[in-house]
Amino acid sequence: MTNNWFTVHKPGLQQLLADRDNILGELVQNAWDAQAKNVEVIIELAPKLGRGLALLRVTDDGRGFSDLTHAFTLFAESNKKGDPELRGRYNFGEKAVLARCHSAEISSTSGTIKFLADGARRASKAARERGSCFKATIKMSAAEVKVAIAHMMQLLVPVGVKTTVNGTEIPHRKALLTFKATLPTEFADPEGNLRPTTRFTVVELYEPLEGEEPDICELGIPVVATGDRYRINVLQKVPLNMQRDNVKPSYLQLLRTLVLNETSALLRDEDAKAPWVSSALEDARVVPEAVQAVIKERHGERAVAFDPSDREANHRAVANGYQVIGGGTFSKPAWENIRAAAALPAAGKTFPTPKPYSDDPDAPPVEVVSPDLWTDGMRTVAVIATLLAEKLMDVDLTVRIVKAGKAFGACYGDSRLDFNIQALGHAFFYAYQENPEPVLDLLVHEFAHQYESNHLSDAYYKALSKLAAKLALLVYHKPDILGL
């Protein structure tokens, strides 16, 4: 019994598909799915037939149509549904092309059917011994024909199949790399309903040739443009929308993450900043090596994350030529992956402020050298520091000699100056009389923190120049004040 509830309005379907440039791929994919070894496409303008018309013929040597009524029946039960390694699932391909045609004829192993210009349809038993032939007069301008040919030449032809367009063979391409992955796909249940599933498959990556746009391909047929770096050929059904021109954002993100994981060693500067890499960087499935490669390509070897718990470390990182990457640079999921991969250490890890000088109330006290153990050089430098603090800043200075590792030479704050003997060494003190410059340099540097803590601020540099000027005038008027 035939169900006549619905009628398809051909001009409306044509309008719906007006912006699709790759509809000829629908015919080629049917030939490939029919196990054809040779597919021939001819498309050329037909000015004798009328303006804006072209002749189209697609011939193959495959199995042919098992049921020729599928050529004109939308959503007929498709034998492709149950096989994830066949393209398509809605019996939509020929209809997408027929909607653009002025007239057409399909001949196959099960007979021939003609679609006449007046809207009539004629069937006959005339059959081909093998394969199918789709012939049509199609509404296409010269520019559209050119675009259609260009799209055909971008097909990724399967091994063992020869496909030609106007006599030119579409070359077989060698993949840049191939990897295996578990990806979402679709299958038909016993009632013929499409169900989502996941399946282990092969993915091929290709570098786009000149004029090609990066895309997702379903078994060699371009289906979704991505704007990313590679052409991604998935060797199973891609879970597409009904129009076969888009995928879910979650599927696209998964593909991008898998591609980044496989190609992180090939990253270029422009890739590291591209949206597809940023998307993959936020995915929990991205591998540490890929995260590290992205950060290195974006920010180089000398980069640290801003450390709110050690603000002085951030200043010292910049002073040492490092980039300090702020929290707003990456999203929260990306930061989680960056930290997990140890791709961007915190500034406080690379340039730690000694704990005794941090804001941590539980930090252990610094080890202070008793004044009884000071050398003569230490006492001399302490006297000079105390004198200059009074003359230059009107500060009653307390001086200590401490042991605090080698991260810093001195630390000033709250009218106290600590000299770190482990970083400065004894020569710093006993050589003062012969070479006072290192001592005076350090004192000016530290005393500037009386006015500004941030080494990188204008206020700090103004404090440096102010102190240097006052020191110069002091020595000018009292040449012997430094004890030299």
The sign of the CA dihedral 160, 165, 169, 172 is negative
> What phi, psi does 115 have (nearest 5°)?
-110, 110
Which carries the bigger pLDDT value, residue 430 or residue 316?
A: 430
> Which pLDDT tens digit goes with each residue over 422-439?
999 999 999 998 999 999
> Which pLDDT tens digit goes with each residue over 454-480?
777 889 899 999 999 999 999 999 998
Q: What is the pLDDT of residue 284?
A: 96
DSSP one-letter string for 293-321? HHHHHHH-SSEEE--TT-HHHHHHHHHTT
| pLDDT above 90 (res 119) | no
Domains for the chain: give ranges and CATH numbers: 1-171 (3.30.565.10), 173-282 (no CATH), 283-357 (no CATH), 367-477 (3.30.2010)
Indicate the average pLDDT of the chain. Answer: 87
The pTM of this model reads 0.73
Which carries the bigger pLDDT value, residue 462 or residue 97?
A: 462
CA distance 79 to 73: 14
Q: What is the pLDDT of residue 404?
A: 85
Angle at 108 between CA 104 and CA 112, to 5 degrees: 50
| pLDDT above 80 (res 364) | no
Which carries the bigger pLDDT value, residue 51 or residue 181?
A: 181
- H or E element: which one contains 381? helix 376-393
CA distance 409 to 395: 21
- Confidence tier at 187 by pLDDT (50, 70, 90): confident
Mean pLDDT of 38-45: 95
Q: What is the pLDDT of residue 14?
A: 54
Q: What is the pLDDT of residue 311?
A: 78
Q: What is the pLDDT of residue 76?
A: 47
- Coil, strand or helix at 18: coil
CA distance to 43, 60, 210, 425, per residue, from 135 (Å): 10, 12, 31, 91
For residue 39 the two structure tokens come to: 């597919």
- For strands 132-139 and 121-124, give the pairing: unpaired
- Confidence tier at 46 by pLDDT (50, 70, 90): confident
| pLDDT above 60 (res 6) | no
Mean pLDDT of 115-139: 90
Give the number of other CB atoms < 10 A from CB of residue 22: 22
Q: What is the pLDDT of residue 470?
A: 94
CA distance 103 to 137: 5
Q: What is the pLDDT of residue 75?
A: 43
Closest by CA position to 302, among listed 282, 291, 318? 318
Q: What is the pLDDT of residue 344?
A: 96
Q: What is the pLDDT of residue 43?
A: 94
> What phi, psi does 234 have (nearest 5°)?
-95, 125
Amino acid at 354: P
Three-state SS letters, 214-267: CEEEECCEEEEECCCCCEEEECCCCCECCCCCCECHHHHHHHHHHHHHHHHHHC
Q: What is the pLDDT of residue 164?
A: 97
Mean pLDDT of 373-397: 95
**43 within 8 A of 25, measured Cβ to Cβ:** no
For residue 95 the two structure tokens come to: 């209809």
> Which pLDDT tens digit goes with each residue over 81-91?
556 777 665 55
Amino acid at 323: Q
Report the DSSP beta bridge partners of residue 113: 106, 123
- Interacting residues of 371 by C-beta distance below 8 A, sequence separation 6+: 401
- Confidence tier at 74 by pLDDT (50, 70, 90): very low
**Which residue in this structure is represented by tokens 């040919």?**
149
Amino acid at 422: Q
- Confidence tier at 352 by pLDDT (50, 70, 90): confident
